Amino acid sequence: MAKESDTWIMHGVAEDAPGCIHTVKEAISYINEIGFLPLFRNEIPGFSLEERTVPENWWSDDSLRDPWQWRKIIAGSKKVAYGRFFAGKAGFISLAWFPYFVNYRRDGYDFDALWDDEKASIRQKKIMDLFEEEDELYSFEVKQKAGFGKGGEKNFEGTITRLQMQTYLCIRDFRRKKNKAGREYGMDVAVYSKPEHIWGYESVTLAYSEEPMKSGKRIFRQLMDKYPSATVEQIRKVVGVGPGEEPLKKKTKKSVHYPANLLKALQLDMEALTADQMRGLEFVISQLKESMQDVVRLHYEQVMKLAQIGEQIGLSRCRCSQLHKIAMRKLQNPKCV
C-alpha cells in the first residue's frame, strides 16, 4: 500500500493471476504454508497479503472478497495469531511458528521477569497488569484503565505496539461497542489479549526449551527458503532477525555500540582512546537504565530524532529529551552513574 497524489494505491494481482488469494480460507492456508505474513506490502517483494490479492476488493466491505474484512475473521477464528508483529505493522503468524517468535522476541523473559529485571517501562507494566484480571479488553478500555488520558494517543499506540512486537499481546478479535442495553453501535474495535489466554501457556511457550537465537535462525531460514530473493537487510528490517544474530533485547542489555557521532557528542577522539578506555565507556553505558540506553542507541546508532524514538518506545518527545540529557551527563561524568 502506497500513497500517490494523496490517494492510497494497493499493489496486488489480477483475479485470474497464478497464486491469487480469493477467499479467507485460502488466506489462512497460505499463512500456514509460509508460516508468517505481513498484511501490507513491505521491503520484501511479494511478502504480504496485499500482493496476493485483488486491489479492487480491498475496503469493499464484502466479507467474502475484502482482505481488510478477512483480518477480522482470521483474528476471531483463533487459527492464526494477528497483531503488529512486523516492524510495528500488522500481520499474521501461524500457530506452528508463533512459539518461535515468542521465544526469540521475548528472549527468555515472561513479562513479570522482564519487569523485575527493569527491562519494561511503567506504561507497559500498567497495560500488562490489566490482563492479570481480564482475559480480553477493547483497545479503548486498555487506554482508559492504564491511564493514557487525553493527548496520550501516541504514547498508547507506541506502548501497545511494542508489547505486540514482543509477543506479550495480540489482537484476538474485532468487535463493535455495546451500549447499556447491550446493543452494538459504531465501528469494529480491536480486542486485545495475552496469547496465553487464547492458546494456553504451554502452547505459546513451546519453544522455550531452545535458545532464543536458534528460534531466530529458524525464522530467518524459513523466510529465505520461501523468499530467496530477500536480502539480509530486508529480512532484518521486516522481521527483526538476521542470520546468527542474538535477540535484539540481548543486544540492548549488553551495551550500546560506539558510533562516531556518539563519541563526538561526548567530545572523545576515537583514535586516541585506548582499549581500556573503550571498555570503560562500555561499562559506564551498561550501567545506565535501559530507557536511557534505548534513547542513546536509537539516537546515535540509528540517527533517529527524539520524537521518533518516543513513538517507538512509548514515551513523549519531552521525556526522551530528558533521558538523553541525563544519559549524556552521566556518560561525561561517570561518577554520577
Tens digits of per-residue pLDDT, 27-75? 999 999 999 999 999 999 999 999 999 999 999 999 999 999 999 999 9
Tens digits of per-residue pLDDT, 189-241? 999 999 999 999 999 999 999 999 999 999 999 999 999 999 999 999 999 87
Contact (CB, 8 A) for 323 and 291? yes
3-state helix, strand, coil in the chain (%, to 5): 50, 15, 35
Tens digits of per-residue pLDDT, 11-25? 999 999 999 999 999
For residue 306, what are the contacts with CB-CB under 8 A and spacing of at least 6? 295, 299, 317, 320, 321, 324
Q: Treating both helix axes as pointing N-terminal to C-terminal, what angle do 317-332 and 275-286 enclose, rounded to 10 degrees? A: 140
Cell 492510497, residue located: 8
